[in-house]
């Protein structure tokens, strides 16, 4: 494999155990992999496979019980809560299944949110960065729309713009198409592929095996371990798939 590329994420035998009552639940039983800059990785597994726990680890929302996780070269395990908050703010962009936009707030303000917690940005820089991110997801004409005036697809685009606004080392998508219909899901995949083509590192966590066909690499989890880690040599085009979908007919 081409090891000259920059390593964005490195997991070394990461284990995560939870204590539930008197029992110890082993959610991650030793996971090791590297993700390079510019990869579009799907992490796929059935429920209970540990993919949510892994996502929390990758997103620095949680720390490993054992092993070490390096995000962009920074070891995360011994970091304090506020240090991890700062790391999330600078290095990670989250896209959630249920969009999680602030209610009664405009698209621009929603996208500005991560920069609010970064003192390096002043108000005008924040707004400029937010507008740029919204344009990148194709919502340049919806800047002042409030979250309740948008469709699910538009809300998810705002959420993606919010994930991009801090120019993160990695975009973490958690079932980002889970709440959307087939057509809109493909529109999102087109967007993710576009971002991938622009050189973004994307990790897409999903239970849907179909999505793996559109990514450059697929990591399959089962019972807290990596079952399969395959490079996809035949990446399907989401745009083509979208074009071949039957055009929805109104009743």
Q: Which of 45, 50, 64, 114 binds another protein (CB under 8 A)?
A: 114
Q: Which is nearer to another protein, 179 or 232 (CB)?
A: 179
**CB 158 to another protein: min, Å:** 12
Binding-residue total with another protein (CB under 8 A): 26
Of the candidates 16, 51, 162, 217, which one interacts with another protein according to CB under 8 A?
162
* C-beta of 32 vs 83, nearer to another protein: 83
Residue 85 interacts with another protein (CB under 8 A): yes or no: yes
Is the Cβ–Cβ distance between 241 and 46 less than 8 Å? no
Q: Does 94 bind another protein (CB under 8 A)?
A: yes
Residues 37-76 that bind another protein (CB under 8 A): 56, 59, 61-62
Does residue 116 touch another protein according to CB under 8 A?
A: yes
Asked whether position 119 contacts another protein by CB under 8 A, the answer is: yes
Tell me how far, at minimum, the Cβ of 149 lies from another protein, in Å: 16
Should residue 204 be labelled a site residue for another protein when binding is judged by CB under 8 A? no
Q: What is the DSSP string of the chain?
A: --TTSPEEEEEEEEEEEEEETTEEEEEEEEEEEEEETT-EEEEE--TTSSHHHHHHHHTTSS--SEEEEEETTEE-TT--HHHHHHHHHHHEEEE-TT--PPTT-BHHHHHHHHHHT-TT--HHHHHHHHHHHHHHTT-TT-TT-BGGGS-HHHHHHHHHHHHHTT--SEEEEESTTTTS-HHHHHHHHHHHHHHHHTT--EEEEES-GGGGGGSSEEEEEETTEEEEEEE-SSPPPHHHHHHHSPPPPP-
Rule CB under 8 A: is residue 18 a binding residue for another protein?
no
Q: Is 179 in the site for another protein (CB under 8 A)?
A: no
Q: Is 213 in the site for another protein (CB under 8 A)?
A: no
Q: CB of residue 36 vs another protein: minimum separation in angstroms?
A: 24
Q: How many CB atoms lie within 10 A of CB 192?
A: 25
**Interface residues toward another protein, by CB under 8 A:** 56, 59, 61-62, 81-82, 85-86, 88-90, 94, 96, 100, 102-105, 113-114, 116-119, 162, 166
């Amino acid at each position: 494999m081409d090891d000259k590329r920059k390593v964005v994420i490195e997991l070394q035998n990461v284990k995560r155990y939870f204590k539930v009552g008197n029992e110890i639940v082993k959610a991650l039983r030793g996971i090791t992999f590297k993700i390079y800059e510019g990869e579009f990785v799907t992490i796929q597994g059935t429920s209970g496979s540990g993919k949510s726990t892994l996502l929390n680890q990758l997103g620095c929302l949680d720390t490993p019980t054992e092993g070490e996780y390096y995000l962009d070269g920074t070891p995360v395990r011994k970091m304090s809560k506020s240090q991890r908050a700062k790391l999330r703010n600078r290095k990670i962009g989250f896209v959630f299944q249920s969009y999680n936009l602030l209610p009664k707030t405009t698209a621009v303000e929603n996208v500005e949110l991560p920069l609010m917690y970064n003192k390096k940005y002043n108000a005008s820089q924040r707004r400029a960065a937010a507008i740029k991110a919204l344009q990148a997801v194709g919502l340049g004409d919806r800047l002042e729309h409030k979250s309740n005036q948008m469709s699910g697809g538009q809300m998810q685009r705002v959420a993606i713009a919010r994930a991009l606004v801090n120019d993160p080392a990695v975009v973490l998508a958690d079932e980002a198409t889970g709440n959307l219909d087939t057509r809109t899901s493909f529109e999102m995949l087109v967007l993710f592929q576009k971002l991938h083509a622009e050189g973004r590192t994307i990790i897409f966590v999903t239970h849907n095996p179909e999505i793996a066909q559109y990514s450059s690499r697929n990591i399959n989890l089962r019972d807290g371990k990596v079952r399969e880690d395959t490079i996809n040599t035949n990446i399907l085009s989401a745009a083509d798939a979208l074009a071949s979908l039957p055009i929805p007919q109104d009743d």
